[in-house]
Amino acid sequence: MAAATSTPTEFEENSNDDDKSEMNITNYLIVRPEKGGMLDLLRYLVWADIGSGVKFLESSEEGIMGGEAADHRWIILVSIIVRKIISLFGKPMECTGFVADFFLNLLFQNGGIMGLLLNFLQGKVVTPQRDTETFISTIGHLDGRMDLYRDENLLEQLDNSVSAEKIATEEIGNRALMDLCIMASKLAYENAKVVQSIVVQHWKMHFVEFYNCWNDFQKEMSTQVFILCDKPKDANLILISFRGTEPFDADDWGTDFDYSWYEIPKLGRVHMGFLEALGLGNRADTTTFHNHLQMKSTGFNHGYDGSGSLSSNTDSDMEENVGHKKFLSEKVKKTAYYAVRKKLKSMLMEHKNAKFVVTGHSLGGALAVLFPTVLVLHQQTDVMNRLLGVYTFGQPRIGNLQLAKFMEAHLKYPVPKYFRVVYSYDLVPRLPCDDKTFLYKHFGVCLYYNSLYVEQVRAFCFQLMFFSYYLHKMLHFFEMLSFKESETSQACCFYSEASVTVPAHNSNGRIR
């Protein structure tokens, strides 16, 4: 559906010159592994030929390309090489995931190997059907728990009119709320029917909506997110959960290893792939980032009325304002940031006492913290005043030190609202790679859990040392040999130690 055209608003006419000047000083860097050849890569790798390295880069300024190619050569090389390898195995990964999902569900729905054999002999084999409430993802099979911890009654605390903010901050990472976020982050990997079934039947909460959202760079619905609340009327808690890095999705892994960034004036540099996943731009046309990420209202921040109030303009108002900017309103409505923001604002108006939590695992964690970041950028003050917390698990870095300092003022004071959970040697929280001078930096409260699940509160998680990882896993394997609990625990032990051949896969594949 084409967007309706309209004349620019008075504000837009007055701010055109400012917009143009901002666009002229906006910086970005894009790493394009497909641009250079293997000979260029070899020259850049072995002889540190900056000219060859620049061939893989695209930037707003020539000086940025040369400086980045020289100062962060190894980091860029890792990004290029890994993404080339990932793209090479993209189709095999997809096929492997298809087979793994089908086989695991075939066993699960037929009662295991013996049940499958018996059903086969009787001609009663149950064939798994995708996108049904019984079809569970591979990640769902790695951890079969569906219920919340019974000894932590979060709903009872909320129903007794206990302050939601007190629940979250009376101790670092309230166990009941964190458990809900853990389970919601894991549940985001399932299809919409599974999500609704578990939210309603197991958690006894109200399922709101599941979104398949558009990524304009990938040209597909590759961002998934769902929303729930604790009850259909007079809700106290609204939860938003973004799907993370799918284990067999090459595009997701490529995004995690991407080094490309876009600089937002006064905010800092932000990971370009995560912005695209939220539907806030397309590197094929970098002006789209500027259009979505302006701090002032120009019609692109649809639903924004300049005050950040919950009664701001609707999507239909936005459709009338963006025609002259060549935006397709139908695509904009499908994107994660705008779809979720519109629904969240309507729910906050409906549930006057509700606060909201945002969560996600891996790539989903990055989107979870980037979502309130853009709300702050768009000056959605009334919405941000209702934020209870952000809980992420195995989350990659989203931006530079300037961004970290900017957001800490909104997520750390007067009480911490952003908690980052990191497990042991998980690789993803160390991505994109960092060093003492590199631009990607974490922020928020880091809840670090070692291999024995002992919690430590840290300002950061230390860098992954490859050889110490192997030594650690071998020692942990012998330690776990004497650990006896159940068949499930033994299976998890085997899965954990099998990761010695696949570094950091286990800690990113399972959410504990």
Can you tell me the distance from the alpha carbon of 66 to that of 300, in angstroms, rounded to the nearest whole number? Answer: 33
Q: Is residue 170's pLDDT more than 50?
A: no
76 lies in some domain: no
Would residue 123 count as lying in a domain? no
Residues 395 and 366 in one domain: yes
| Sign, Cα dihedral of 460, 381, 157, 194 | negative
Kindly report whether the global pTM for this prediction surpasses the value 0.85: no
Q: How many residues does the chain have?
A: 512
Q: If we measure between CA atoms, which residue out of 332, 294, 288 comes closest to residue 314?
A: 332
219 plus 276 within the same structural domain: yes
Instruction: Report the distance separating Cα 329 and Cα 323, nearest Å.
Output: 8
Residue 241 scores a pLDDT above 90: yes
Q: Would you give the end-to-end CA distance of the chain in angstroms?
A: 44
Lowest pLDDT segment from 5-14, 61-70, 261-270: 5-14
Is 263 strand, coil or helix?
strand
- What value, to the nearest 5°, has the Cα angle with vertex 459 and ends 418 and 395? 50
More confident site: 412 or 374: 374
Which residues fall within 8 angstroms of residue 470, CB to CB, at 6 or more apart? 500
Locate 44 and state its tokens: 């850049």
Backbone angles phi, psi at 273, to 5 degrees: -65, -35
Range of the domain at 476: 465-512
Residues 432 and 477 both lie in one domain: no
Q: Please give the Cα distance from 372 to 387 (Å, whole number).
A: 9
Dihedral sign for Cα atoms in the order 66, 68, 72, 77: negative
- DSSP assignment letter at 15: H
Q: What is the pLDDT of residues 104-126, one digit of tens each?
A: 999 999 999 999 999 999 999 99
Cβ-proximal residues to 285 (8 Å cutoff; 6+ apart), any chain: none
Q: How far is CA 465 from the centre of its chain?
A: 25
> Does residue 413 sit within a domain?
yes
In the structure encoding, which two tokens stand for residue 276, read together?
Answer: 């695209």
DSSP notation for 384-423: HTTEEEEEEESPPP-B-HHHHHHHHHHHTSSS--EEEEEE
Residues with Cβ within 8 Å of residue 480, at least 6 apart in sequence = 493, 496, 497
CB 429 within 8 A of CB 420: yes
Q: What is the mean pLDDT of the chain?
A: 78
Same domain as 426, residue 287: yes
What average pLDDT does the segment 155-175 reach? Answer: 53
H or E element, residue 336: helix 336-350
Position 392 pLDDT exceeds 50 = yes
pLDDT at 463: 52
Q: What is the pLDDT of residue 196?
A: 97
Look at residues 443, 462, 481 and tell me which one is the last residue of a structural domain: 462
Task: Provide the pLDDT confidence category of residue 155 given band limits of 50, 70 and 90.
Answer: low
Please tell me the number of Cα atoms within 13 Å of 229 on its side-chain side: 23
On whether both 257 and 378 belong to a single domain, the answer is yes
What number is the average pLDDT over the span 262-278? 92
Residue 360, strand partner residues: 242, 392
How remote is the C-alpha of 210 from its chain's centroid? 15
| Domain co-membership, 400 together with 475 | no
Which pLDDT does position 183 carry in this prediction? 95
Measure the CA–CA gap between 196 and 179, rounded to whole angstroms: 18
Number of domains making up the chain: 2
Clarify whether residues 282 and 198 are in a common domain.
Answer: yes
Q: Report the DSSP beta bridge partners of residue 473.
A: none
10 Å Cβ neighbour count for 349?
13
| pLDDT exceeds 90 at position 44 | no
Co-location of 487 and 401 in the same domain: no
CATH classification at residue 171: 3.40.50.1820
Q: Does a structural domain hold residue 490?
A: yes
Domain boundary among 420, 444, 462: 462
Could you tell me what percent of the chain has a pLDDT over 90?
A: 45
Is there a single domain that holds both residue 409 and residue 509? no
Average pLDDT over residues 360-376: 96
Note whether residue 271 is domain-resident: yes
Do 417 and 471 fall into the same domain? no
23 with 298: CB under 8 angstroms? no
304 and 442 in a single domain? The answer is yes
Tokens describing residue 311: 């009664």
Rounded CA separation 183/196 (Å): 13
**Residue 200: what pLDDT?**
96
Domain assignment present for residue 332? The answer is yes
Handedness of CA 332, 336, 341, 346 (dihedral sign): positive
Asked if 222 and 187 sit in the same domain, the reply is yes
Q: What is the DSSP letter of 200?
A: I
Amino acid symbol at 74:
W
Q: What count of other Cβ atoms lies within 10 Å of the Cβ of residue 206?
A: 16
The pLDDT tens digits for 410-433 are 998 888 899 999 998 888 888 887
Phi and psi at 465, nearest 5°, equal: -100, 115
